[in-house]
Structures are given as C-alpha cells and as structure tokens.
Chains A and B, each alone.
Chain A
Amino acid sequence: MAALLKVEGLSIGFGNAAHVVDDVSFSVEPGETLALVGESGSGKTLSCRAALRILPAMATVHSGSVMLDGPKGPVDLMGLSERAMCDIRGNRVSMIFQEPMRSLSPLHRIGNQVIEVLRLHGTAKGQGARKRVFETFERVGFTNPERVFQSYPFELSGGMRQRAMIAMAVVGKPDLLIADEPTTALDVTTQAQVLGLIKEIQQDTGMAMVLVTHDLGVVANMADTVTVMNRGRVMEAGPAPLVLGDPQHGYTRDLFAAAPKIPESGEDAAEEHDRDYILEMRNVSKTYTLKGKAAWHPKIHVQAVRGIEFGVERGKTLAVVGESGSGKTTCARMALGAERADPGAEILFRPKAGAETVNLQDLDNQARLAFQRQAQMVFQDPYSTLNPRMRVKDALCEPMDIHGIGTREERVDRAAEMLRWVDLSPNMLTRYPHAFSGGQRQRLSIARALMLGPTFLVCDEPTSALDVSVQEQVLQLLEDIRDRLNLSYMFISHDLAVVARIADEVAVMRDGLVVEQGTTEALFHNPQHPYTKALLAAQPEPDINRPINLKIVAQGAGDPSTWPEAYRFDGANVPPLTKLGVGHKVRYYA
C-alpha cells in the first residue's frame, strides 16, 4: 500500500542558524496513526507545519519533499501553488491545534466556524451543510448540537472547545488529520475522553492521523507507528509495539525512564501514629463574592473551597490533587496566609515540634513577617516566576533583603551556596533569567525559596510546565532537599503520576471538596471514590498493553450528581468524609 503522506529528508532552519529540523523522514499509511514524540524544541511541530506549509515567516525549508497521495497519484506539496494548497488544507489534510482557548475565533458562532470549512471547499451548501455539521457535532459527542451550533467559544469549556475543534477538523472528511498536542492543555480525565473520541472517529472514517505529543502514555494508547525526535533529528522510528516495548535508542530509553508512573501496588500503611503537623487546616472554607449581573441583582457567592480538614506532617509531603477549578490553588494560598479563609476556620502553623502554634487567620504584620521566613512557595510557570529584569544574584538575595538579614556579602555567599544546592554553578549569579532553560529556572525558583531557610514549602505545580526528563530531575531535587533539610511540602498538582513519586499523603479534590484522602499507598492501591478511580484510569501509561479504560473515566469524571448514589453530591447536599481504614478517608454515605 502506498503511503498517504511521505515526508523525506526534511530540513528547516531559521535564517542562517543551524537547522532546527534536520533530515527528518516519516510516512503515514492510510487509516494509520503515526505519533511524533519529542520534548519541546525537538522540531516535531515544525515538521508537521511544514507538511501543510504553514511555517512561521522566519523559517525556511532547506530541503526535503512532502508527498501526499491522491486520486491522481502522489503530489509534492512543496511544489504546489498557494491556491492549490488551499484546496488541500481543511479538505484533504486538516489540523487540530494545542490551545483550544485560542484556536477558535471568539467573535463567531461555533456552527459558522465549522460550516465555513464546507463552504470554502464547496463540499456542501445551505441545508446540506448544516445537516452535515449537526451530524459531526453528534459524532463528537455534543448532546445538544443545535445549542452548540449557536454558541460562542467562550460559552464552552476547554474540553468542549477541543471537541468543536475536532468537529471542524473532521467535518470535511479529510484523509489525514494532524493533531498537534491536542490534549496537552486539558485535564487528565478530559484528555482520556478526547483521545477516545479521536480514536473512534478514526475507526469510523478511516482517516490517517499524525499525532504530535510529548507524552509516551498518549502514544501507547493511540499510535500504530512511532517516530521519536530529539533536537531536530529522528532518533528512532518503527511500529509502536516494538519501539515502546523494547526501545533501542538511548534517548528513547531516557524518555521512558523519566516518564512518571503510577505504582503497581503498595502496602497499606501500618498503624496510625501520633501525628506532628507542621501545618494543620481545620474546617477551612473560602467563599468569593462576585458582583451580580447588574447592581440590583444579588451578589453571587462562589465556594472555592469547602470544609477542608488536613495537615502537613513535619518532614513529609502532602499532595493536593485535582483538576483546574477544584480549589487546590486557593488551598495553597491560604496555607501561606496569602488569602484569608472564611471565619471559623483554623489554619495552625507549628514552627517546631511541640512549639506554640500560630493561627494564620489572625496574624499581625510582625507575626506575618516571621511566618514568611518559615514558609515559602515554589511557583508553576518557570518563565514568569523570575523577574526578567533582575540578575540571579539580586533575585536570590531579595528575600534576605526584604527581611533585612545579613550584610550584602553574606547574602551573596548564601545565594552562591543555594545555587550549589540546586546543582547550578555559582558563576551564574550575574546572569539574567533569560539565559536559563525552563528546568534551570525552576531550580532558581527553588533556590530563592530556600534562601530564608524555611521549614515549610508550598509547591504549586512546579513541574507541570516542564518536559518529562526535566520534570524527573526537578522532582528528584525536591526530594533530596526535603530529606536533607527536613522540610515539609504541600505539593499541588493535577497529575497523579507525579504525586505518586513524591507524596506521603494525598488529598483528591473536586469542586472545592476533598473526595478522598489517604496515604499514597492506600490511595493508589485501594482507590474507593469513583473520581479517584477515574483519575487513575485516565492517566495514560506508556505501556501498550494497558489502554485507558474509558468506562471508569466516564463514570467518575462526569458531574458529581451523576456519581453512584453513595458518593453523589449536588449543591449543599454533600456526603461526609468517612473514615475507611488507617489514614484513609472517602466522602460517601456509609
């Protein structure tokens, strides 16, 4: 069988600099899925864009051919006129982009955007086109296609928008779909459902797909053939079972080693012991008051967090897991006193074992400064966590500067020492942040948090913006430092697999409530709550023999009012957090 798309010897460069894509070849058979795997900067997106000739203006293709098989035999897309390319884009080859928030036009109704594809290519007109769009909407799982047709993008959630994007991509019945990280911006449960959907549609229509991703788990679930790229070169390519089952190239092996995995099994923690909490949250809720639609409308109250009860043990890590909007970040901010909880809450901080506790709810300025020396935060986005206008030296010295500790020399000495702790060289002190990679910046962020010698760190998704291999290094560093300094972490994440590695105790949150909470062993070995199960099941594993179980995902990830009766909650009707075993609590009606 002839390949549908055959890319050969493709080289792309920006200006006169070295090629960013260097002699890349891959091919897709009709009906097949090819996964392009690689970390950021590996050139996987550029290679795909070159196939549709939608490269950034600065990039030039130096050599290579892109052959698309058609009714009249293969054509080289590189040699086609712009006019002829327009006929191919959207009609024969279509693309899904990474950011569902940005790839739909905010000013047009979804229906009109989708129908435009048909109109442009003259495939169908008028009622016929409308009918076909409705069919496609139904196909991608919209229960009420007419409503979606009429809605604007801002009315839909991220997962819904990505479905709309998929509808737009497949409505023209293309032969080839290029999906550029279609699920990276989505929550893990939504990701599982969207992946399942793409796969189904592919089976129905028999289209081929190029899937660009950095996630080996996604690859294992979707791909027939795999091409692994690194720094613009193909490292390894072949059928998925072979490459994933027995990687030959060093880079592929490294990727596998770095991929976070959910532990197979564990043992339930033994007996309950007296716990020495460094931070304890009791009956913590947070309600935000928003303005009503107009001045005379009542104000809207949003409960971001409801009745949280947990604590961080000294020298241990508590992980708070949940999807976006579950209230985990609010939790973190309250734990640092940056946000005040609703009255009646107690957030107790005990700097040393047996010492007096401080209630973060009523701190005066003096006590707040003292607390800030003990508790620090590591932020999520390595690119915005450091002031681009401050040298590393100034950024690191700033905490001591604010608290007026030490002389200038002492501060710089401490900064140099902290850099050594996070495995960076002290001669980087004079640099600006732009000289560092994402992983290095995250190390700097950790170093800055350590400057004041804190005992408690809140890490707000510190690795979610990093490549897998770098994520692994940063997690390792966090673990090392915790053990070395006897630090306690509150680790916020949306990724159970990351948490499995570092946490001692996990709390799973949904809609501002903790639905299940327990030791890592208990939670991963014996998950009870359907939502926890869904999270675990939705995690794509880089093992081709363990596909995502969509049934479990669909059951747990849906609206809480659709959960099995024992777990169901809606509005203020919430089951209590019931103790199930040693250090294991689940929210259900016993």
Chain B
Amino acid sequence: MSILPDGRYVDDKPYETDIGEEARHAELDMSNTRLVWRRFREHKLGLVSALFLLFSYLMLPFAGFISPYTANERAPDHLYASPQGIHLFHEGKLIGPYVYPITANVNLETFSWEYEADYDNPARLEFFCEASYYKLAGLFKTNRHLFCAPEGATIFLLGADRLGRDVFSRILYGAQLSLTVGLVGITVSFVIGIVLGSIAGYFGGFLDWIINRVIEILRSLPELPLWLALSAAVPSHWSPVAVFFIISIILGILDWPGLARAVRSKFLSLREEEFVRAAEMMGAKPSRVISKHLLPNFLSHLIASATLSIPAMILGETALSFLGLGLRAPAVSWGVMLNDAQNLASIEIYPWTAIPMLPIVIVVLAFNFFGDGLRDALDPNRS
C-alpha cells in the first residue's frame, strides 16, 4: 500500500494481467453423475430417504419371506387380535426372542374381542421355519419364512384384522402393489406428457392450440366420478392384477396434463435460448433439437417431478381402493387394507386396523424428500 506524492493511493501488491485462468477447480473434468452424486450426498434428509426407498423396493420380492404369514391366511380364533410385542427376558432370564401366547375372550358388555396373554408360557420364535406356501419373487414356491410363531402361539406384530389376518404381513404384501402402481402410472403419464408437451411447446400454432384445449377439458372433469366410471368399466371378472394394471394406466392417463403444461412452458422459454437457435441455424431437424438440446436441459426437472409425482400416484391408488373403486380383495394393497378401517367404531376399538396409514405417510414423505434432494443436486445452474 502506498500513497503517491500527489495524494493518490496505489496498491503495491504485484499485479499480473489476467489471462483467462485455466482450471479453477479439480471438479471441472469430473463426470456429470459424480457431480450429481456429490451434491446429492450433502442433502442428508434426501439421502436417508433414498436409502429407505431403495431398501423398501429391494424388499418387495422377499415380502413373503420376511412376513410370518401369507396375505390371506386367516387365524379364525384371533379376530381383531391386538399387537403382540417381542420380548427377550423372561423372569430375569434371557431366553431369546419370544411372545406370550394370547387367547380371545368376548366382552359381552362392549361386544368386542379382548385378548389375554398367558404370561407363564413364553413361546420362543422360530427362525427359517416352515409355514404356509408362497412364491418367492413370484417365481419359486417355498414355505420357508424368516420367523414364525411356534405351534400353539401366534405372532401378530401389528395386530390382526376383522378376519384374523396379520396386519404386518399384509402391509408387506400390500407394498408390492402400492409401491409399484405408481411406477406404471408415472411411466404412462410421462410418455404422454412429454410427447404432447414438447410438440405443443416446440411447434406451437395449431397443434399447441389443440393440445391445450384437450388439457383444459381433462382438467375440467370432476375426478372422483370419472374414476368411478372408469373403474366400473373394468370387467369385474378380471384378475386383481389385470385390474391393478388398468387402474394404474387410468391414473396415468388422467395425470399427464400437469406435466405436459410444465414441458410446454419450459420449451417455450428454452426455444428462445441462443444454443437452440444456433442448432437450428446449423441445420438441425426438430427431432434432434428436441432430443439433444431441449430435453437434456429439462431432464433434471423431469426426474425430480417424476419422483414427486410417484407419491401422488400412491395416494391416488390408496384413495381409489379406500373408496372401493380401485383394487379389491383378494388383492392386497394399503388402500384395500384401509378400506377395512372405514368404520369409525372399529378404529376406536381396534386402532391397529388403521396402521397401514403409517407406511403410506412414510413412503410419501420419503419420496418428497428424495425428490427435493434430487432436484437440488441435478440443477446445473447452481455452479
């Protein structure tokens, strides 16, 4: 720092002409996926949610193995059985995980089932035991379970329902349908939404007008009656799986307008970017401009909005099934299970019949956090 005689200040640090600095960070040459992963890791809530979802989906094929009972296996002596805890110590001694067997009594004042535990005869759980038959991953027939109750005892971790079916097992089986119905629906709605949205946004004019009117018409339809009508149209003798596919496709067909509008408006603004004009002036065809320039720039938004709409689909399936319009017994989904909880009285006396709400809440939240984290991580404008 120096002051010249004429009173001005001149910085006396050595000065070098700036020649457009080379490599500022080491991450410049890093691949895109690694960058995204690094940024995603910073979002702790998103990371935890992602791990949870990964675990949930990986569990789906093994649901039959983990659950002690199969989905529609009944215990006629244990209607509305209350949840049983797993204990380790009996009278001060470690005897490994065990349950107290329960027996049912009818309370003739309230006309409800009450269960009494037999605290003298702890029943130790068996592991890798043989019980009823199921198909592992839908392929291998086996009767091997991770754990089950010994002869003469039951294991209802989250209680049993109206017909004496294990709620815990049914939640696991229900996940197989509830978690995947969203994926099919999303695929359908994405294909339609992206195709129509990009056509409307890129070409504009008459096509744009038509697509917009279709969107408006779809949006003006009242949703519930429409669901009702569409699911009534599904032949009732179809198998639950076929119904399930149709339901998810219906959900997808009704869900695309929002996405199509997002794609369209994004395309309208991206089309004005100079790199798009540059590509057009090089002679690129519209299909190339859309697939190479417009969509990649929009991909992060698409992925994030996909993860954010899966929970909407899950909730949609749940709502439909809850109303009895979606999946029906004997298929098991969380919505079907909640259908049993429609009766206020039964919730009051047997609150565990409403437990399937819990996985719905957790999964929907997890998808939301995951989607949030993903959107932050994929956003290329941050750096």
Closest to B12 in A: A249
Q: Nearest-CB distance from A540 to chain B (Å)? A: 22
For the complex, is B383 an interface residue (Cβ under 8 Å from A)?
Answer: yes
Q: Within 8 Å CB of A448, what residues of B?
A: 278
> Given A384-B274, A389-B296, A434-B383, are A242 and B8 neighbors across the interface (CB < 8 Å)?
yes
In the complex, per-residue mask of B3-29: 1 if CB is within 8 Å of any chain A CB, else 0: 010111111010101101110100011
Of B20, B32, B275, B288, which one neighbours A437 at CB under 8 angstroms?
Answer: B20
* Chain A positions 219 through 260: 1 when the CB is less than 8 Å from some CB of chain B, otherwise 0: 000000000000001111111001100001111001000000
Please tell me if the beta carbons of B28 and A435 are within 8 angstroms of each other in the complex: yes
Residue of B nearest to A379 (CB): B274
Within 8 A of A (CB), among B329-383: 380-381, 383
Bound form: Cα–Cα A384–B297 in Å = 12
Interface size of B as a range: 35 or more
Known contacts being A385-B274, A388-B381, A434-B380, is A369 close to B283, with CB within 8 Å? Answer: yes
Q: Considering the complex, give the chain B residue whose CB is closest to the CB of A247.
A: B10
A235 contacts which chain B residues (CB < 8 A)? 10-11, 15
B279 within 8 A of partner (CB): yes
B293 contacts the other chain (CB 8 A): yes
Cβ of B284 within 8 Å of any chain A Cβ, yes or no, is yes
Complexed CA–CA distance, A403 and B284 (Å) = 9
User: Can you list, as one digit per residue, whether each of A334-352 has a CB less than 8 Å from chain B (1) or not (0)?
Assistant: 0010100000000000000
The answer to the question of A287 belonging to the interface, with a C-beta cut-off of 8 Å to chain B, is: no
In the assembled complex, A136 has its CB within 8 A of some CB on chain B: no
Give chain A residues whose Cβ lies under 8 Å from the Cβ of B283: 368-369, 372, 402-403
Residue A417 at the chain B interface, CB threshold 8 Å: no
Say yes or no: is A299 at the interface (Cβ < 8 Å to chain B). Answer: no
Q: Does A309 contact B (CB under 8 A)?
A: no
Tell me whether B9 and A237 are in contact (CB under 8 A): yes
Task: Give the contacts of B314-336 with A (CB-CB under 8 A).
Answer: none
A387, B10: Cβ atoms closer than 8 Å: no
Q: Which residues of A contact B24 (CB under 8 A)?
A: 435
Contact B274 A372, beta carbon cutoff 8 Å? no
**A254 touching B17, Cβ below 8 Å:** yes
In the assembled complex, the CB of B25 is this many whole angstroms from the nearest CB of chain A, namely 8
**Smallest Cβ distance from A393 to chain B, in angstroms?**
12
Separation of A372 and B273 alpha carbons in the complex (Å):
20
Chain A residues near B22 (CB, 8 Å)?
Answer: 425
Q: Is A469 an interface residue (CB 8 A)?
A: yes
Enumerate chain B residues within 8 angstroms of A395, measured Cβ to Cβ.
Answer: 275
Residues of B within 8 A of A445 (CB): 278
A520 within 8 A of B: no
Asked if residues B278 and A336 are in contact (CB atoms below 8 Å), the reply is no
A43 interface residue (CB < 8 Å to B): no
Q: B288 near A402 (CB under 8 angstroms)?
A: yes
A331 to chain B, nearest CB (A): 15
| A interface footprint on B273-310 (CB within 8 Å = 1, 0 otherwise) | 11101111111100010001100110100000000000
CB of A301 closer than 8 Å to a CB of B: no
Q: Are A402 and B20 in contact (CB under 8 A)?
A: no
- Total A residues in contact with B, Cβ cutoff 8 Å: 51
Is A376 at the interface (CB under 8 A from chain B)?
Answer: yes
Q: In the complex, which residue of chain A has the Cβ closest to the Cβ of B298?
A: A389
Interface membership of A430, Cβ < 8 A: yes
> Contacts A239-B8, A249-B10, A250-B15 hold; do A338 and B280 have CB atoms under 8 A apart?
yes
Q: Which residue of B lies closest to A39 (CB)?
A: B18
Within the complex, the shortest CB–CB distance from A47 to chain B, in Å, comes to 15
A91 proximal to B (CB < 8 A): no
Cβ-closest chain B residue relative to A381: B274
The answer to whether B293 touches A251 (Cβ under 8 A) is no
Of A238, A381, A402, which one neighbours B282 at CB under 8 angstroms? Answer: A402
Given known pairs A385-B274, A434-B383, the reply for A398 and B8 (CB within 8 Å) is no
A399 at the interface (CB under 8 A from B): yes
Write out the residue numbers on chain B whose beta carbons fall within 8 Å of the beta carbon of A398: 279, 282, 284, 292
Known contacts A233-B13, A248-B10, A448-B278; decide if A440 and B288 are in contact (CB<8 Å).
Answer: no
- Chain A residues near B381 (CB-CB < 8 A): 388
**Residues from chain B with Cβ under 8 Å of A236 in the complex:** 8-11
Closest CB of chain B to A42's CB: distance in Å? 11
Using A235-B15, A250-B17 as known contacts, list a sample of 6 further A-B pairs with CB atoms less than 8 Å apart, ordered by residue number in A.
A243-B8, A248-B4, A384-B273, A387-B296, A402-B282, A432-B32
Chain B positions within 8 Å of A, measured between CB atoms, are 4, 6-11, 13, 15, 17-18, 20-22, 24, 28-29, 32, 273-275, 277-284, 288, 292-293, 296-297, 299, 380-381, 383
Q: Which 3 A-B pairs have CB atoms at the shortest separation, nearest pair first?
A: A238-B8, A389-B296, A435-B28
Residues in A lying within 8 Å of B, measured CB to CB: 233-239, 242-243, 248-251, 254, 336, 338, 368-369, 372, 376-377, 379-381, 384-390, 395, 398-399, 402-403, 425, 430-432, 434-435, 437, 439-440, 445, 448, 452, 469-470, 473
User: Can you give 12 contacting A-B residue pairs, CB < 8 Å?
Assistant: A233-B13, A236-B8, A237-B9, A239-B8, A248-B4, A249-B15, A376-B282, A380-B274, A384-B274, A387-B279, A388-B297, A398-B279
